Chain A
Amino acid sequence: MTEPAKEEPRRRIGVVVCQCGGNISDYVDTEKVRSEIAKEGDVVSARVEMFACSDAAQQNSIEEIKSKKLDGIVISSCSPKLHLSTFRAMSSRAGLNQYEYTQANIREQCSWAHTHDREAATGKALRLVRAAVAKTAKSEPLEKMRVETTPQVLVIGAGVAGLRAALSLSDMGITVHMIDSADHPGGHVGRWGTLFPNNKVGKTVVDGLVQDVRTRENIMLYLKTELVEKSGRVGAFNVKLRTGNGAAIPLQVGAIVVATGFEPYAPQSGEFGYGLPGVVTLPEFKELLGSRSNKPTYEGKEVRTVVYVYCVGSREPAEAGNPRTYCSRYCCSATSHVASVLGAADPGLHQFHLFRDIRTYGKYETMYEHALQSGSVFLRYDEENRPTVERDAKGLVVRVKDRLMAGEDVEIRPDLVVLVTGMVPRANEALTRVLKLPLGQDGFYREAHVKLRPVETVIDGVFVVGASQGPKNVAESVTSALAGVSKAGALLLKGYVDLDPLVARVDPVACEWCGECLKACPYGAIEEVTYGDKQVAQISPILCKGEGGCVPVCAKQAVSVLGYTNEQMLSMIDAMSPGIPGKAGAPSLIGTTSRKVPVKEGA
């Protein structure tokens, strides 16, 4: 008995079917997948491994790549999010171009998703592996692009986060250009008195940092200066600054650290009595106190009774498109701190805190306890029954329903009402436009991923730190600044950066320049150039992220993403679909629908 003769293989592809120690093989018949895929024309070896990622299995794969002279490998295992880089590195070690490796996800997408149906899970796994083989059969070797980096950083904002970032970058031997739109460095912190939790004075902290900055030869501080232009790519941005007197300064920097900070929320006139004499915000109260810690006075009169109203401007209901639904994090701690400092210095001072929830998280809880012990009284109010602040002939009067007394009406006549206001994003439209930075729902700059890629943005080499990214206290702001510093340092100190070659490419012969791709590109990677006697699109492989938005909008199918070309995607669909009803004569997906072609390997 002889097997039917195989076609002469065009490619020499190896397939590994991983059992993931039962995670896959309990629900997918891995042996059946292996024996079926071995019949594919381009497949010259197919084997099952208990753990394809184990050292021993990787060694087997390397041996096989070498001995069978494989020019492509498919590993059907878990999500590429987990092991794409593992197996790419393995391919490189075996002398196979890492972009000739394809991962088929038969764990998350088959065995974990279809535990109830072994046969269907096996069938789906086989289709996914066939698609991966089809894609690999049309793969081409690609090389990462190595570009040089400039060891200089632009820090935008000379507040506490920016100053700290500049000093740390300077420590690493990186030249820093720091700009600020104000005529003096220091930001908000310089105007505040005693800071929590260490009772340091804001001005002292900032003055120390500024003094240190001024002694550094590799930190250039430009005041009353704005960033007006940015072009180039990670490692070599061309930026243009404009100074207060209109002079333009062109620079080349390798990375940009955005530390533009926040604005304190400015209550509307009449909001909790704001605008009445004796009603101030927390930052105004801090300025009023300065560095003193007892006997606060307001307009020359000693203050004996203070009422704090919490959550002013924060945690608003989401309706009416209000972006201020977030908690500003720092205000509860800051107010508890102020109250405990004042209360400890003067036990006769009466302080009433009208709060919704107290969020003195972490070790700041002790400041709340100190505030309680130093005589502060906390009254909880409902979101629906907010306190009112009015002024009559006898002075200020605050009314609140105390939840701890079942909503009993409480009337207080304070000398001063402090509205505990949160943080709002700075009005930075011009800068946001120049940097093309995306904003989050709350209007602050958005990180690429809050846990996996903090302080990074979707634009390589541009980092958002401090309160520009979201409300933070001083310690958190500085921590975030240092995170940005280490990311920028890691990027620049190496001297070069290797970029992924999985980027879009234009076929200038097919391109007729309509400009649709330019509109679809969020990275500014596409430009119009002359090609022979016509205009065509050209894509910078360095700016391109391989996002693929330009591919489906091209009427001429002139754009494709390397590693995920139109031919590859079509052959994957063909390989996946035998036996699916309605497949015959179905229109090609590309060019006929607006559906985007998936471009990055992901779960």
Chain B
Amino acid sequence: MKVDPDFLDTLRLGGEFNARQCINCGTCTALCPLGMEIMPRKLFRYALLGNKEAVLKSTEPIYSCLLCKMCEANCPGGVHIAENVRALRSYLNAEVLEV
């Protein structure tokens, strides 16, 4: 995977994506009712590392999210996970789906 530092800047401009406090413990993924492997830890890791390709490929999981906040309520780092998913959606809306 190639790191694209500017990608993270783009995400930040589009919404309020912020997973800085993430310590990669994986609590979010363990609790996620969808059981999709990439959600949400790996997805955020890709976003943090500026892996645009991986984010673009994850359109389905990103839109599948129920925004139930089960992960967010239990996140020890206090990451606003649902907000971040919304930020990713607004990025995809503009960039990919062009809505």
Contact = CB atoms under 8 A, between A and B. Distances in A.
B31 to A, nearest CB: 18
A412 B24 CA distance: 20
Interface in B1-60: 1-3, 5, 8-9, 20-21, 23-24, 42, 45, 48-50
A375 B20 contact: yes
Contact of B3 (A304, A369, A372, A412): A412
Q: Number of contact residues on A: which range applies?
A: 20 to 34
Contacts of B5: 304-305, 350
B20 A350 contact: no
Contacts of A408: 1
12 contacts: A304-B5, A350-B5, A372-B20, A373-B20, A373-B21, A374-B20, A375-B20, A405-B45, A409-B1, A410-B3, A410-B49, A411-B2
**Chain A to chain B: the 7 pairs with minimum beta-carbon distance, closest first:** A350-B5, A412-B3, A404-B24, A411-B2, A305-B5, A373-B20, A377-B48
Contact of A352 (B3, B20, B24): B3
Interface residues of B, number: 15
A412 B3 CA distance: 5
A413 B9 contact: no
Nearest to A368: B23
Nearest to A413: B3
A348 interface: yes
B94 to A, nearest CB: 21
B1 to A, nearest CB: 6
Interface string A502-546: 000000000000000000000000000000000000000000000
Interface string A232-273: 000000000000000000000000000000000000000000
Contacts of B9: 348
A347 B9 CA distance: 9
A375 B8 CA distance: 10
Interface string A342-354: 0000001010100
Nearest to A379: B49
B1 A411 contact: yes
Nearest to B1: A410
A176 to B, nearest CB: 48
Interface centre among A305, A352, A405 (most CB of B within 10 A): A405
